[in-house]
Structure 1
Amino acid sequence: MVNKLVFLILSTVILVGNQSFAQKKITLKEAFKDKFLIGVAVNRSQINQSNQEETKLITSQFNALTAENDMKWMYIHPKEDTFNFEQADKLVELAKANDMFVVGHTLVWHSQLAPWVFKTDKGDTINNAELTSRLKKHISTIVEKYKGKIDAWDVVNEALAEDGSYRKSPFYTIGGESFIENAFRFAHTADPEAELYYNDYNLINAEKRDGAIRIINNLKSKNIKIDGVGIQAHWSLEEPTIEEIETAIKMYSETGVKVMFTELDISVLPSPWNSPTADVSVSFENNPTMNPYPNGLPDSVQTQLAKRYAAIFELFNKHADKIGRVTFWGLHDGLSWKNNFPIRGRTDYTLLFDRAMEPKKAFNAVIDTVND
């Protein structure tokens, strides 16, 4: 009888020991607590905590927050002498109540701007001196307001073209590359303790990667603070390859900055391009070929997505000493921006939680990349 009891106890211990993290209901932030932060981008409704199920999922699974849109220039600084801090305040409150790291996104970006930014009262284009003055006021006012409350800033977003040259945005055509230097200087002066990042998409691609490294090295050569590079990981089931991602991680890390994967989602849909991108100005027409899963994702594709996420996180775990944060761009599939980009009205399945906020195979696969 005693031997049988011992056998049953040992069998139970072995079975429990062999359970996956996912089966034990380990959360993302618990699984990766010794590796890197796990973040999520939140929309206005979530910042306002309008849906308690979403709030519970956000606060239980993640330990870093980014506002998906509400801290972009058009919302937070809509008029030259008007700042709107209501949503940013609520974001900070939500994070503080749940001991979460906060990323301010984004201080300088050519898109989602207020219409006054580059114009004089007469409608003419401003000169570099005025641009610098406006950048200083914008950055200093916002960063000083959240000094000690917002932990890190995406200071400059998407300043590069695909070939690694500077994007010919009005910031660049008016101010040259010095607008980037000034933005980082102003942010550092306003909050010397905050981490400062350069953020962009397609930073795995060699030419654009080299352009980002040029920006990092230029800032460092002038003793301008930069703490990290944010790689917008809007990827597909096939691209970029694990080898390409690993090469980029190593090369960015060699510059002395942290590596962040700031906008992770993986599209399962066919792309109208030859490679993934996140240029929000591009769109294509919808058709059944481009929207193959309007009524649900086949199990075979669920498995393919899970394997892709697992391979990516196995790589992240391998280089956890170089990675500061991984942020998912949206809470669940129903809220993913990829449902409408680059083709409106499609049904995509890019994230770890489905439209009912239930964990997918991909969630389990990600959790299981961490050794028990």
Structure 2
Amino acid sequence: MNKHILSIVGSIILFASHLSSQTQTLRQIVDDKYPANNVYIGATSMYSKIGSKETKLLAREFSYTTPANDFKQSYVHPNNDTWRWDKADAWIQFARKHQQVIRIHGPISPQCSRWAKNDARTDIELLTNLSEYMTELCRRYNDEEVVQWMDVINETVSRDGSWKTSETGDTKWELPWESIGYEKVDKDKYPHLGGKVPLYIIRAFEIATKEASNKKLVINQHGGMHVEMWNKVKDLVRYLRDSGLRVDGVGWQAHISYGRDVDWESPEVSMQALKDLIAWAHTNSLEFHVTECNIHVPLNKPGSEQEHIDTYMSVFNTVLEMRHSGVVTFNLWNIKDVPHYKNKSKTVIAPWDEQLKPKAIYFEMKKALEDAAD
């Protein structure tokens, strides 16, 4: 009789535990199941959404957030005479209120102001703007406890392994900072750098190493698992560290585009390649960040809901699996389904629908967190 009662009690406890996991948020599960602080699950939003249902969901579901564009040079210091901190400071207040940590996405990157991209800009003007912006950004938030990471550079290497360059004319994805010049490096010691490193990268890390001493410094990179691209990033990390500069983490954006390659942004993307990249990062005392995950799908051939689940979860599960060897983070670039920001023939798929109703992806993420912790 006692054994029968114990069995019933055990079944009740298991049922209650299952029910609790269904009602818990992602944030609560991470807090409960991952106390080692080696797993961070986050999402991105923007200043215009603060106070909306979207950022209320952001606060409820995530302990980590990455403001999309509000810390970038294009807004904060778009030219040598302008400073605007209102949006960035609002995010600091938001994170304090909701006990979140922030990754400042304010890198030196192609996402810069039209002033910087103007062909008339001199190297001195560009270097002055870069130095002023990075110095003030680091100094302003170095003592803010809610800021845990800073992206220092972003999208600096092309998929073929070449340095992203400055271009003439009104080119959206050019990188004007490249025109500042290059530092020569040893081709034998760093075979994938092409004998040179852009001066803007060195300068950005010099400033961040000195002025953001309390923050973890991240290199954020787009693309897939292209071997040439990541080899250059790896050599860049070695070069910067050998030069006495600090690199604490590497990020992969994980924008996955259906239609271009069926499932992935690049034919070379595989979960084994991602595991190998994370393993390399951890072996070299680097955190690994999935920084901007979302799925871009054609409106005329969006794929099935199960395909969307499989795509998200392959990345998510890989991140969780690799947590044992070092810090991993997973950040959604979109909380909800939205039209593609520039391509009207595509839409962006997220774990919540346009009305912020949770989709199957969300519940699969929660289940994965529960299962991986067992």
TM-score (normalizing by structure 2): 0.80
- Matches of 1:204 and 1:102 in 2, distance apart? 26
Instruction: Please report how far the alpha carbon of residue 341 of structure 1 lies from its aligned counterpart in structure 2 after TM superposition.
Output: 5.2
1:227-246 Cα deviation digits (max 9, x unpaired) = 11111011257322211211
Cα 1:172–1:367 shift into 2, 3 Å:
same
Find the partner of 1:175 among 181, 192, 212. 181
Aligned-partner residue type, residue 331 of structure 2: T
The partner residue of 2:140 within 142, 145, 149 is 145
Partner residue of 2:256 out of 235, 243, 246: 235
Supply the AA of the counterpart residue of 2:361. A
Kept in 1: contact 2:293–2:333 (CA 8 A): yes
Cross-structure match for 1:310: 313
Aligned counterparts, 1:3-18, within 5 A: 8-17=8-17
Counterpart amino acid of residue 164 in structure 1: G
Q: Kindly tell me: are residues 257 and 305 of structure 1, through their superposed partners in 2, closer, same or farther at Cα, counting changes over 3 Å? A: same
SS of the aligned residue for 2:290 comes to strand
The CA deviation at 1:118 is 6.2
Q: How far does residue 110 in structure 1 lie from its aligned partner after superposition? A: 2.1
- Aligned counterparts, 1:45-194, within 5 A: 45-46=48-49, 48-49=50-51, 51=52, 53-115=53-115, 117=116, 124-127=120-123, 129-149=124-144, 150-169=147-166, 170-176=176-182, 177-194=198-215
Alpha-carbon distance between aligned partners in 2 of 1:106 and 1:21, rounded to the nearest angstrom: 38
Q: How does 1:196-345 map to 2 (within 5 A)?
A: 196-236=217-257, 238-239=263-264, 240-267=269-296, 269-270=297-298, 290-292=299-301, 301-320=304-323, 321-334=325-338, 339-340=339-340, 343-344=343-344
Give the letter for the 1:126 counterpart: T
Q: Does the Cα contact within 8 Å between 1:118 and 1:131 map onto a contact in 2?
A: no
**Aligned partner of 1:28: which letter?**
L
Partner Cα separation in structure 2 for residue 54 and residue 16 of structure 1? 29
| CA RMSD after TM alignment | 2.5
Q: Which amino acid aligns with 1:134?
A: N
Structure-2 separation of matches of 1:185 and 1:3 = 67
Give the aligned residue type for 2:43.
Answer: V
Gaps of 5+ in 2: 167-175, 183-197
Equivalent residue, structure 2, for 1:277: none
Name the % identity: 22
| Cα distance in structure 2, aligned partners of 1:86 and 1:29 | 27
Partner of 2:189: none
Matched residue of 2:348: which SS?
coil
Q: Deviations over 1:80-104 (max 9, x none)?
A: 1211000001000000111111111
**TM-score between the two structures when normalised by the length of structure 1:** 0.81
The answer to whether the 8 Å contact 2:21/2:29 transfers is no
Residues paired across the two proteins, number: 331
C-alpha distance in structure 1 between counterparts of 2:121 and 2:352, whole Å: 45
Deviations 1:245-284 (A, max 9, x none): 11221223333211111001123x24xxxxxxxxxxxxxx
Contact 2:180/2:199 (<8 A) preserved: no
Deviation sequence 1:35-90 (CA, Å, 0-9, x none): 411111111222x32x1x22321111111121111222121112312110000010
User: Which residue identity lines up with residue 282 of structure 2 in the other structure?
Assistant: S
Contact 2:160 2:226 survives alignment (8 Å): no
User: 1:171 is aligned with what amino acid?
Assistant: W
Pair 203,305 (structure 1): closer, same or farther in 2 beyond 3 Å: closer
**Residue 276 (structure 1) aligns with:** none
User: Does the Cα contact within 8 Å between 2:127 and 2:180 map onto a contact in 1?
Assistant: no
Structure 1 unpaired stretches of 5+ = 271-289
1:354 aligns with 2:358: no
CA contact (8 A) 1:261 1:325 kept: yes
| Conserved? CA contact 1:291–1:347, under 8 Å | no
